[in-house]
Amino acid sequence: MAAISASLVKDLRERTGLGMMECKKALVEANGDIDLAIENLRKSSGMKAAKKAGRVAAEGVVTARISADNKSGLLVEINSETDFVARDEGFLAFVNLVADKAVETNAASVEELMSGDLEDAREALVQKIGENITVRRLARIESEGFVAAYVHGNNRIAVLVDLTAGNEELGKDVAMHVAAVNPQVAKPADMPQELLDKEKEIFSVQAAESGKPAEIIEKMVGGRMKKFLAENSLTEQAFVKDPDMTVGKLLANGNSDINSFVRFEVGEGIEKVEEDFAAEVAKQVESAGA
């Protein structure tokens, strides 16, 4: 029997997302052949579909769909537990199935979208792959103007933009900028008052510590607020492909303006569980010796 090293167990865990003891058992049964162990785990993963539902799925992909007339678009995020599964052909086929069904049904929510055969397909995929798979969210834009999309090459960031007018090149440029820089709002006027008040309070406290006169402090706070809005508003930001020009100027040159945008990044807002492999091994050894 081949020796099963801790590094081999760790490798299998990273590639499958399964527990240490389960991975070690699979490797023992496969005589240290990691590919055979993965194959055997997949064959036996059906019994785990229900248990997987409680596990954190913070990896995955985002994808976009745009109508032929560029009057509507949608984004969908579908999560898996590991990046390994996010690259699986079966998982990616399911992603395309979900996105196409979202276009076909014009579903307004994930619950509505998954109410039919898609939920059966998701459960079958969970059983086949052995990981929790979730359709996390979708977003739509309907416009009288021009809707464009950009999906980053790693399929982890996707953006929809709604322009008053435009073409594919302009739309993609603006969407790509949103993907890269991640502005909070489209225009300064869109910034929530609550956030402005919070930032102003922070800047005021910082400025007060300078000991300068009140009128100087007021000017300092005003300058910092102006900078905050410029840095976080899409139209005021320096265009990522040409820092000498703002995105607002780019749009104006194309006889266009921004109505809105939507940006999805895989796993944002999900609290990931960071595991300490060494600590887990020590805990298992301690338990075995008890």
Residue 283: per-residue pLDDT: 56
Domain with CATH 1.10.8.10 in the chain: 1-43
Write the DSSP string, the chain.
Answer: -----HHHHHHHHHHH---HHHHHHHHHHTTT-HHHHHHHHHHTGGGGHHHHTTS---EEEEEEEE-TTSSEEEEEEEEESSHHHHT-HHHHHHHHHHHHHHHHHT-SSHHHHTTSHHHHHHHHHHHHH-S--EEEEEEEEE-SSEEEEEE-TTSSEEEEEEESS--HHHHHHHHHHHHHH--SBSSGGGS-HHHHHHHHHHHHHHHHTTT--HHHHHHHHHHHHHHHHHHHBGGGSEETTEEEEEHHHHHHHTT--EEEEEEEETTTT-------HHHHHHHHHHHHH-
Residue 181: per-residue pLDDT: 96
Judge whether residue 189 has pLDDT over 60: yes
Judge whether residue 40 has pLDDT over 90: no
Which CATH number, 3.30.479.20, 3.30.70.260, 3.40.50.720, 3.30.465.10, labels domain 59-191+233-265? 3.30.479.20
Q: Which residue has the higher pLDDT, 48 or 43?
A: 43
Residue 53: band (very low, low, confident or very high) from pLDDT cuts 50, 70, 90: very low
Residue 160: band (very low, low, confident or very high) from pLDDT cuts 50, 70, 90: very high
Question: What are 251-274's pLDDT values in tens digits?
Answer: 999 999 999 999 999 988 876 555
Residue 149: per-residue pLDDT: 97
| pTM passes above 0.75 | no
> What homologous superfamily is domain 1-43 in, according to CATH?
Ubiquitin-associated (UBA) domain (1.10.8.10)
Residue 56: per-residue pLDDT: 65
The share of the chain scoring above pLDDT 70, in percent, equals 87
Residue 51: per-residue pLDDT: 40
Residue 50: band (very low, low, confident or very high) from pLDDT cuts 50, 70, 90: very low
